[in-house]
Amino acid sequence: MSKLVVSLKLFLFLFGVQTSQAQDSFYGKAYFGTSSSALISKRGLVGTPGYNVESFKELGFLFGKEVNKKWAFETGLNIATANIFISSTIVTDIYVTEYNYQMLTFPLLMKYSLSSSIYVNGGPLLDIQRSEKSTVNQSGIGYLIGIGAEHYFNNVGIFLNPHLKRHAAISFDSSNNNLTELGIQLGVAYKF
């Protein structure tokens, strides 16, 4: 638990430092997303259970602060759900267990605008798994890398953000798997 508390304090400190130095406008984003996801083993173990991730969906919001015309910082909350099917073989029988997966993610992202409508973004993710299956625990520090497109109509905008996420790159426990997503987020934005 102490790693989680230290990580959360570091996360809040870094966001506080960057917002106190920023000069321009704030904005908010709300989005829905879906991903093609897989639990990838950190070690190639033979005879371990198989995992199949289905129906991965996410809802979230981001608050951003523009530092200048090119750079912005974003943070917020992402709530993800999925169904994970765990299959194991004992002698000749195959057993499949369905598991409802839930996770909260707190991103700390940097956004760089390539043009007025195209950007790249990336940064660390603080993941806290809400469901209790220890064999697939993804609580830890992950990362996101993405490229996006946005268009504003005065202060209201729409955006599309394809991305790659890797959870538990630095795990808070000894989980043998990393949840990896190749996904897309679609949402609305508002500049204050």
Distance CA 115, CA 87 (A): 46
Q: Mind listing the pLDDT tens digit for each residue in 15-50? A: 554 444 444 589 999 999 999 988 777 665 555 567
Cα dihedral 53, 57, 60, 64, rounded to 10, equals 70
Q: Mind listing the pLDDT tens digit for each residue in 106-160? A: 999 999 999 999 999 999 999 999 887 666 788 999 999 999 999 999 999 999 9
Q: Mind listing the pLDDT tens digit for each residue in 115-124? A: 999 999 999 9
